[in-house]
Amino acid sequence: MMLFCMECKKIFSSLTYILYSLLVILMIVSQYFMEGGEKVYPPSQGDYDYGEKIVEDHDLIMSTATDALTVEFLSNRYVCYPFGFYKAVHLDNEEQAKIEKYICEITGLDSEGIAEKKKNADVCYITDGTHDYGEYAIRDMPISVSMTYERFTDIMDDVDDILGGGSDYAVDGLVYKFSRVPMTYEDAVEDYNSILTDDRVTNAYARLFSDYAGIVLAILPVFVAAALTAADRRRRMSELIYSRRSSSLRIVFTRFLALVTTMFIPVFVFMVIALIQILIRYNGADIDMTAMFTLPTFWLLPNIMAATATGMLVTEILSAGAAILVQFVWWFMGLMAGGTAGLSGRIGKFTFICRHNALGNRSGFIMNWNNFVFNRVFYMVISVAAVLFTVGIYELKRGGSFNGIRLFGKGSIFRRKA
Amino acid sequence: MVSGCLARVVYSDVKHNFLIHYIVALCILLASPIFFSLSQLDSILAAQPLELYVPLIGVVLMTPVFLPEQNESIYDIVRSKKINHDIVCILRLICSVIVILCMIGAYVLYMKNCNSQVTVRYFIGSSATALFLGAIGFAFAGIGRNVVVGYMASVIYYILNFSFGTKLGYFYLFSMMHGSFIEKKWLILIAFCMASATFPVRRIIRN
Amino acid sequence: MDEKIVIKNVNKFYGKKQALFDIDLTIEKGMFGLLGRNGAGKTTLMKTLAVLHKKKSGDINICGVPVESAKEIRAMTGYLPQDFSMYPNMKCDEVLEYLGALSCIPKAECKKRVTSLLRKVNLIEHRHKKFKELSGGMKRRLGIAQALIHDPKVLIVDEPTAGLDPEERIRFRNLLCEVAQERIVLLSTHIVGDIEATCENIAIMDAGRILWKGTVHEILENARGHIYTANVEKQFLPQIKKEYIVTGMLAQTDYVTVRIVSDTEPDLPNTVLTEPDLEGAYVYCLHSHGCDIVGGEE
């Protein structure tokens, strides 16, 4: 406990932690308090647009997905987002033939049938750079009666593989991509009511809060963790600490706990502020007093833990700079993936940065609840495992049998004394 | 004679202190096809790699200008020589800027060759973002006398751009993706000011 | 041009803290030793001479050139800091060539000088070794070579022997003596032995002030009559250390011979007035200027 307090004190007085707190404050205030977390009002009748909603309608998915696939097949230009970046995939003849076979199977048409559709469709020639291709407007591909949804998802899975992943046909994304319908006034009212009744207000705001805070909390902790871990080496303290009696397990875990605790404090402060704000705004409504704490903690703690664990582990093995780089790449890919997955609702089993950029759409979130729980627990466990691994590395270094991998020789970039 | 000596200094610097950074930057660019396609992109899509990804080489190349002398005793040695150390740093910076421009130029030409809709404006825009990010790293590393501070500052600014977006006004890095080019000239201007202010500020803080 | 360094009324501040107080010193050709304990201001003075620090007030004139014209001063001074370090991946000859280029030496001449200097400092076989692979002594010798690369009139060496083994230390001193034949060498140290072996003129600094300046002979004379030896039993040692300034001890079989610096003859058995040594003279000098000397050390 004594060690824990000392570590916390050390972190509180470090420049990186102060910087971290300032940035967290800046992000949460500017994003959640000034922008997203406003009071919601019931929808008014006669609005032009109530947004879209996702329904799990298998027939709708099959027909729209088949249309989209045929369009892309006819132009041999498939748009994918493997890392969140746009990537146009062109297939060779053999692979095109496979896709054609699948389209035939789904639609029950043969090659001529598809050619017929192509001939009858409106075509729009697009000049992309110096290259021209035709885009065929096809919206009425038939679905074979014998086609089941199970078989359909198998085919789509295979198509996604052929395209190299990240396509619209990836199975867990089908429902988000091809099963959207416009919301009616009634839907909008229902969505609004569920914020008040099902979410009891705080749950909805807690989701939005976590969405905003999650982005920064998936990267910033790595700076603090890496700086703290590298500080020993830079101040030539390593040997002094190595020679003490404490076990490596105790030293490393105390540090990890101290880092996570201290870095959670600014977030916690904002949870309290957010709750107070809601209590004032929705005075009199039935408000869930705990949700503003439980959900964001469960949502955000794994982010802090994972980034901290990466910071500690990679710094021990390589260097602080490498840790920042690794976390940056992970964060960047997570962010881009989150962006293409649609900013709300779609949370996979391994999505690092979970997004839900809306107050409403409770149903979309609940649909993924099991994935979400698995996901968060997974990242917590992984983080603890990474810390255990760090303990192992630390023990090795302490015994002198490992000195860290020196990427750039003795006076490597991040090791020179400042 | 002085220019000849400077040429030797720069050559030696590139060979011993900077080659690794050049290689890293090159690797970053060469790795890009893994993440996204560079061919057949329309003008908005072409801005994506050029603004989100390529400018990271600015951080890699401009931040470590002061790195070789981060060790105080090395700094004293080079400072006790006749040629002003700031001149050496300026030369290194210029080298980095030239390498950045060449790399981005080659990259843009390659995209053009792959039938993407890129123009000279894209080259300038991408370079502006790279130079701005690099200048942040350069200034913070120089003033904070610690390269990690520089990397941190530029990475954090990059992150801020995702969260704040167009609210950053003239300082927004990814404007080309929204079809706007006005920000770019501001980025270049401010990058230039930041880089040139670094030297006097560094000296004032030292004294 | 007269070959000497003239320092007049120099003051230097780090923020509000004054580091140098009215330094007055004239340094002539040959070896000059600056003696003082850690934190006495030696490094500050040397860095000011090498134009790495700016002084607050006063005049410094190096071989007729005021210290304000930094470029000229840098062209004629060579500086070796306390812990010399260089880009770890450069080889010995590359280090010298790089620093030679920074000193504006033409390429052909630079190559020639690098070879001759490496030979002089006995590193010619290691010329292709990287800096990070050198031992402490080798690094220090390379440091001297780099300070001499542009054949400076003045060589400023800050604590060059700290951390070297005795053999390296002797080698290094000899090297310095050799170099000092044709230029001013300013050497700072807190190890009295270094000065004793090499310098003719010395100055003693403490807390940013010059306490004493003159020749080695003069300082020894100054201490004459104040240094005693006595033979005492071991059990009285702590007591004696408390009462007197002990500069040396030599354990014999059943007693200890101690050297004591004192204004008056100590009241101890077998006390003999002895010939002063430089260490004793230095301690006496500090003592007579009212500096705290604890346990006979420093």
Three-state helix/strand/coil letters over chain C: CCCEEEEEEEEEEECCEEEEEEEEEEEECEEEEEEECCCCCHHHHHHHHCCCCCCCEEEEEECCEECCCHHHHHHHEEEECCCCCCCCCCEHHHHHHHHHHHCCCCHHHHHHHHHHHHHHCCCHHHCCCEHHHCCHHHHHHHHHHHHHCCCCCEEEEECCCCCCCHHHHHHHHHHHHHHCCCCEEEEEECCHHHHHHHCCEEEEEECCEEEEEEEHHHHHHHHCCCEEEEEECHHHHHHHHHHCEEEEEEECCCCEEEEEECCCCCCCCCCEECCCCHHHHHHHHHHHCCCCCCCCCC
The helix (run of H) or strand (run of E) holding residue A335 is helix A320-340
Question: What is the CA B45 to chain-centroid distance, rounded?
Answer: 23
Contact between chains at A86 and B159 (C-beta distance less than 8 A): no
Is B125 part of any domain?
yes
Distance between CA atoms of residues A267 and A262, nearest Å: 10
Is B205 part of any domain?
no
Is B52 part of any domain?
yes
- Banded model confidence at residue C38, pLDDT cuts 50, 70, 90: confident
Chain C residue whose CA is closest to A417: C85
Q: What is the pLDDT of residue A416?
A: 40
Is B7 part of any domain?
yes
Is B26 part of any domain?
yes
- Banded model confidence at residue A408, pLDDT cuts 50, 70, 90: very low
B43-56 confidence digits (pLDDT tens): 777 888 888 889 99
Contact between chains at B81 and C102 (C-beta distance less than 8 A): yes
Per cent of chain A over pLDDT 90 is 22
Closest-CA distance, B102 to chain C, in angstroms, reads: 27
The reply to whether B115 touches chain A by the CB within 8 Å rule is yes
Strands (E) across A78-166 are located at: 78-80, 87-89, 122-128, 131-137
- Cross-strand partners of C298: none
B9-37 confidence digits (pLDDT tens): 888 888 888 888 999 899 989 988 777 77
Predicted model pTM: 0.76
Q: What is the pLDDT of residue A418?
A: 34
Contact between chains at A88 and B41 (C-beta distance less than 8 A): yes
Strands (E) across A70-213 are located at: 78-80, 87-89, 122-128, 131-137, 180-182
Is the pLDDT higher at A280 or at C290?
A: A280
- Chain C residues contacting A, CB < 8 Å? 87-89, 132
Interface of A with C in 391-410 (CB under 8 A): 409-410
Closest-CA distance, A400 to chain C, in angstroms, reads: 20
Q: What is the pLDDT of residue A37?
A: 67
Domains and CATH numbers, chain C: 4-207 (3.40.50.300), 222-289 (no CATH)
Is B84 part of any domain?
yes
A319-361 confidence digits (pLDDT tens): 777 888 889 888 888 887 766 555 555 677 788 888 888 887 8
Parent domain of B90: 2-200
- First vs last C-alpha separation in chain C: 39
- Banded model confidence at residue A237, pLDDT cuts 50, 70, 90: low
Q: How many domains does chain B have?
A: 1
Mutate to test the interface with B, among A332, A336, A343, A417 (most CBs of B within 10 A): A332
When CB atoms are compared, the residue of B40, B52, B156 closest to A131 is B40
Q: What is the pLDDT of residue A344?
A: 59
A182-194 confidence digits (pLDDT tens): 888 888 888 888 8
Q: What is the pLDDT of residue A379?
A: 95
Flag whether pLDDT at C246 surpasses 60.
Answer: yes
A287-298 confidence digits (pLDDT tens): 888 889 999 999
DSSP 3-state assignment of A170?
coil
Flag whether pLDDT at C139 surpasses 70.
Answer: yes
Contact between chains at A77 and B20 (C-beta distance less than 8 A): no
When CB atoms are compared, the residue of A30, A408, A411 closest to B164 is A30
- Residues from chain C that touch B88, judged by Cβ atoms under 8 A, are 102
When CB atoms are compared, the residue of B8, B17, B73 closest to C101 is B8
Is the pLDDT higher at A82 or at C194?
A: C194
When CB atoms are compared, the residue of B64, B117, B159 closest to A219 is B159
Flag whether pLDDT at C297 surpasses 50.
Answer: no
Contact between chains at C84 and B2 (C-beta distance less than 8 A): no
Contact between chains at B82 and C50 (C-beta distance less than 8 A): no
Q: What is the pLDDT of residue B134?
A: 95
Contact between chains at A417 and B71 (C-beta distance less than 8 A): yes
- Residues from chain B that touch C107, judged by Cβ atoms under 8 A, are 4, 8
The reply to whether A411 touches chain C by the CB within 8 Å rule is yes
Q: What is the pLDDT of residue B91?
A: 92
Closest-CA distance, A201 to chain B, in angstroms, reads: 25
Contact between chains at B151 and A16 (C-beta distance less than 8 A): no
Interface of B with A in 136-195 (CB under 8 A): 145-148, 151-152, 155-156, 159, 162-164, 167
